[in-house]
Amino acid sequence: MRKIAKRDLTIEQQLARGPLDLPYLALVLLLTAIGLIMLLSASYASAYYNLDPSVNTHGNPYYYFMGQLKFAVVGVVGMYLVSKIDYQWWRGLSVFALAFSILLLILVFTPLGRSSNGARRWLDIGFSFQPSELVKVAVILFFAARLSKRKDQIKAPPKKWNQRTLRGRMGAWLEKIGLLELIPYAIILLIILFLLYKQPHMSGMILVCSGAAAVLFASGIRLYWFVGGGALVGGALFFLITQTEYMTARMQSWLNPGSDLQGDGYQLWQSQIAIGSGGLLGTGLGNSRQKYMFLPEEHNDFVFAIVCEELGLIGACLIIVLFALLIIRGYWLALHARDRFGSLMIVGINTQLAAQVILNIGVVTGALPTTGISLPFFSYGGTALMVQLAEVGLILAVSRQIVAPKEE
């Protein structure tokens, strides 16, 4: 392909070649590196004893680490490539991305899908991956693309409602309170949530909701819809918690982990033992005891417990600070994005990432009930890591187009 000279580029193209936001990139790479090291430490025993019967580690203690490392390298390269793409492309592509990801979600229920541990989340097409990872981004892209044009829509002359008919008056009223505008988003969300619910995939639902809600919120949807929506979600949760045995048990084991140490409360109890025994300074990198078959999922959802045990309060807080800085920098980029689409996209992705971090740490420390959300950059899982890095790539792509402040 012929290389296009810089002078031949359009302004848009030139903008897309702007510099990456280095602080954000540095934070991402730092967290990825720390995450890999902690994964190695946490998964060492599990890989050595080959505890998970669904994988064969051959007793190689580096099994999980090597797998994750490959994905991390590919993911970082992918992140760079994604950041090179002019994100404006996603405005048009987002519709297809959403449609495609919903199609994949449906395909999960065909023989192409694969279930594990009672949940049907995977697609086996040469390799295995979770379409829900894709749908999380697609929803944000689509919502951001559509909502970024919201202002323009308002500017357009309002549709004439026939005030004489009841239907017309209803329509006008509904439009006035902003409900009509929300209907397409609501339908899309409900379809996706329904499909995820059928898998079932609780954490996927939470993350899709958090991303979508953040985009809707930032785009200026009237606040009372959030109040209403929040009330609705709260009511639904309350119903679930009190009316379904499964959730009640889960809540019980969270509120009172000591009550069922051999059953549901076991994992949280072990996690708290890990964290609590870490103390201020921790047992030292690699010296976790809890990883020796006490704490289940110690290299997946509960890797942070091992972090706390090995690095202590100081190390854990340091990592929390790094995550907080990453999130703050993300919002900073959103505030400085070149256009509403970029802002909304970053807000969506960034909020989703933040939700993941907060919910995961909340669960591991026992501050929140178990949800099954993994910790970005730390938890074992190749696709998840690649998708996270690709999302970061999207944010970096937006950061390229931020106009540098004029030099004083």
Torsion of CA 159, 160, 165, 171, to 10 degrees: 20
When asked if residue 354 is in the footprint of other proteins (CB under 8 A), the reply is yes
Of 255 and 335, CB closest to other proteins: 335
Task: For residues 289 and 278, give the distance between their C-alpha atoms in angstroms, rounded to a whole number.
Answer: 10
When asked if residue 358 is in the footprint of other proteins (CB under 8 A), the reply is yes
Please state, as a whole number, how many other Cβ atoms lie within 10 Å of the Cβ of residue 61.
15
When asked if residue 275 is in the footprint of other proteins (CB under 8 A), the reply is yes
Residue 113 phi, psi dihedral angles, 5° rounding? -75, 165
Residue 272 tokens read as: 């708290």
Q: Which of 45, 60, 58 is nearest to 298 (CA)?
A: 45
When asked if residue 292 is in the footprint of other proteins (CB under 8 A), the reply is yes
Of 4 and 127, CB closest to other proteins: 127
Pattern of binders to other proteins over 134-173, x per CB under 8 A?
----------------xx--x-------------------
Instruction: State which of residues 17, 70, 114, 167 lies at the interface with other proteins (CB under 8 A).
Output: 114
| Single-letter amino acid, residue 181 | E
Of 108 and 334, CB closest to other proteins: 334
How many residues line the site for other proteins (CB under 8 A)? 64
Residues from 184 through 243 that contact other proteins (CB under 8 A): 214, 217-220
Of 72 and 305, CB closest to other proteins: 305
C-beta contacts of 161-164 below 8 A and 24+ residues apart:
none
Task: Provide the b/e sequence for 368-406 (b: ≥16 CB within 10 Å).
Answer: ebbbbbbbbbbbbbbbbbbbbbbbbbbbbbbbbbbeeee
What is the distance, to the nearest Å, from the Cα of residue 41 to the centroid of all Cα atoms in its chain? 24
Binding site for other proteins (CB under 8 A): 45, 49, 53, 111, 114, 124, 150-151, 154, 214, 217-220, 272-280, 289-290, 292-295, 308, 312-313, 316-317, 320, 323-324, 327-328, 330-332, 334-336, 338-340, 343-344, 347, 350-351, 354-355, 358, 361-362, 365-367, 402-403, 405
